[in-house]
Structure 1
Amino acid sequence: MEPENPLLDQYILGLSTKSQPKVCFLPTASGDSDRYIVKFYSAFLKFACQPCHLSLFNPPTLDLRGFLLQQDIIYVGGGNTKNLVALWRDWGIDQILREGWEQGVILCGLSAGSMCWFEEGLSDYTGNGMYKPLHCLGFLKGSHCPHYDGERDRRPVYHQMIAAGELADGYAADDGVGLHFVNGALVNIVSSRSTAKAYRVEREGGRAKETLLEPTYLGNLKNRNF
């Protein structure tokens, strides 16, 4: 989302123990957009890594399991989360990713690529500006709402659905915020923008309670390990 601000991408690469980690981009949610794939390579070819991508419309191999499990990092792009989940389940990608996750492959992404890992999410997959609850992969417990400060109606609708029990308690993130989970537990929150925040939103007494979760601004870290 921020071509001139690589802080989050660098943070993700820094999580790998490899000097040249293999990073695979999954552009499924965008319909494997050629433009999006080019943007990924333009960004990651600048770093010490080995970028590649997996298109389900033009797969590089029939051995998708072998291809994905040899990666160190799986980076999932944004787009239509409902289509992403449906296609992954039809191709068995969801099970392969769970296997990779259990073996230590780093899973990450933005927008749809962030929401997909949770049990549920607040999604605009209909494309008409209407937000709906969406069942996702369930690697992480609870719900997730990205673009919390980027789209005007996200926050009130997320609160409304949490309060009504239509979505489970969960985490909301402003654009530029990374929620870092290890073994299902939130261990770190980082941001590429100094003003970006994260939030825990929970149902309490029939209402939504929002708790601020202050991220670490990556631009302030002078001795980063990446």
Structure 2
Amino acid sequence: MAAVQPTILATSGGYRQGSRTRIEFDSLVDYAVELSGVTGRAPRIAHIGTAGGDQRWWAAEIDQAARIAGFDLSHLNLFTMPNVEDPEAYLLEQDVVWVNGGSVVNLLAVWRAHGLDRILKKVWESGVILAGVSAGSICWFKGGVTDSFGPGLRPVTNSLGFLPFHNGVHFDSELRRRPTVHKLVADGTLGETHCTDDGVGLVYRGTELVEVVSSVKNKAAFRVTAGAGESVDAVAIEERLESRFLG
């Protein structure tokens, strides 16, 4: 299956506590599958865990979540070498590519070393749904705010740039992120920045933001842009974008 238009679901979520397992997929991952339009068979999902170093214990957790959800999930590992002979062919066979969180800076470096930046652009244009959480959200934009370099938040401005905006994640749960985004947008380091509370996802058709969805009630997304203040200094303007609760 392929989406009608290139589609990205960029989130600050995707998991919930399981009843018999540590995690299960929540409605954000279910919605990524719905966006793909797959019917009549188990959805094929490729999990990419580069940002966390392809940790096998996490892959096992994801495998259990996929079994409960009824998904045909497999992994594209790049450590210590790619685990499939042809990553492009493998990804083009999927309905959804789900990228997990971790270090977006390390993710970008490893992906570029393996040519995955070029491959993923082709996969996106072919109609496979690109989705992910945290680092797996920021990677699709021009950049955003990251703790990849250390505890202090810093900008990253060399992401894949499929979407012509910047991205902020965990906007409500990590208190330093909002003021850092505001500062970097106001001083021009970041351009228009689309941010998500935990449990919220942004849906893009092509490069247009078309929907805000959430697996948690009363959560939102935010558009942060630069504007003129009362003095000559620029300020950041934040616009709340209400979400549709997925249940």
Q: How would you bin the TM-score normalised by the shorter chain?
A: over 0.9
Aligned length: 219
Counterpart amino acid of residue 26 in structure 2: P
Q: Does 1:72 align with 2:95?
A: yes
Structure 1 segments (4+ residues) deviating >3 Å: none
Q: Could you tell me how far apart the structure 1 residues matched to 2:17 and 2:207 are?
A: 29
Is the CA contact (8 Å cut-off) linking 1:119 and 1:135 kept in structure 2? yes
Q: Does 1:126 align with 2:149?
A: yes
Aligned to 2:76: 54
3-state SS in 1 of match to 2:36: coil
Counterpart amino acid of residue 219 in structure 2: A
Q: Does 1:13 align with 2:33?
A: yes
Aligned to 2:17: 3
Shift of 1:195: 2.3
Q: Could you tell me how far apart the structure 2 residues matched to 1:156 and 1:128 are?
A: 15
Q: Could you tell me how far apart the structure 2 residues matched to 1:22 and 1:188 are?
A: 23
Shift of 1:191: 0.5
Counterpart amino acid of residue 209 in structure 1: I
Q: Could you tell me how far apart the structure 2 residues matched to 1:68 and 1:7 are?
A: 23
Q: Could you tell me how far apart the structure 2 residues matched to 1:93 and 1:45 are?
A: 27
Q: Does 1:23 align with 2:40?
A: no
Q: Could you tell me how far apart the structure 1 residues matched to 2:36 and 2:186 are?
A: 38
Aligned to 1:163: 186
Q: Could you tell me how far apart the structure 1 residues matched to 2:114 and 2:156 are?
A: 23
Counterpart amino acid of residue 17 in structure 2: P
Aligned to 1:86: 109
Unaligned runs of 5+ in 2: 1-14, 19-24, 229-233
Shift of 1:183: 0.8
Q: Could you tell me how far apart the structure 2 residues matched to 1:147 and 1:111 are?
A: 7
Q: Could you tell me how far apart the structure 2 residues matched to 1:202 and 1:23 are?
A: 34
Shift of 1:50: 1.0
Q: Could you tell me how far apart the structure 2 residues matched to 1:183 and 1:217 are?
A: 23
Aligned to 1:224: none
Is the CA contact (8 Å cut-off) linking 1:198 and 1:215 kept in structure 2? yes
Q: Does 1:34 align with 2:56?
A: yes
Is the CA contact (8 Å cut-off) linking 1:123 and 1:134 kept in structure 2? no
Is the CA contact (8 Å cut-off) linking 1:82 and 1:134 kept in structure 2? no
Is the CA contact (8 Å cut-off) linking 1:120 and 1:168 kept in structure 2? no
Q: Does 1:44 align with 2:66?
A: yes
Alignment deviations for residues 170-202 of structure 1 (CA, whole Å, 9 cap, x no partner) = 101001001011111111110011121100000
Question: What's the RMSD between the two structures over aligned residues?
Answer: 1.3
Shift of 1:130: 3.0
Unaligned runs of 5+ in 1: 220-226
Question: Which structure has the higher relative contact order (CA within 8 Å, separation 6+)?
Answer: 2
Alignment deviations for residues 62-113 of structure 1 (CA, whole Å, 9 cap, x no partner) = 2111111111110000000000011101100111110010010100000000
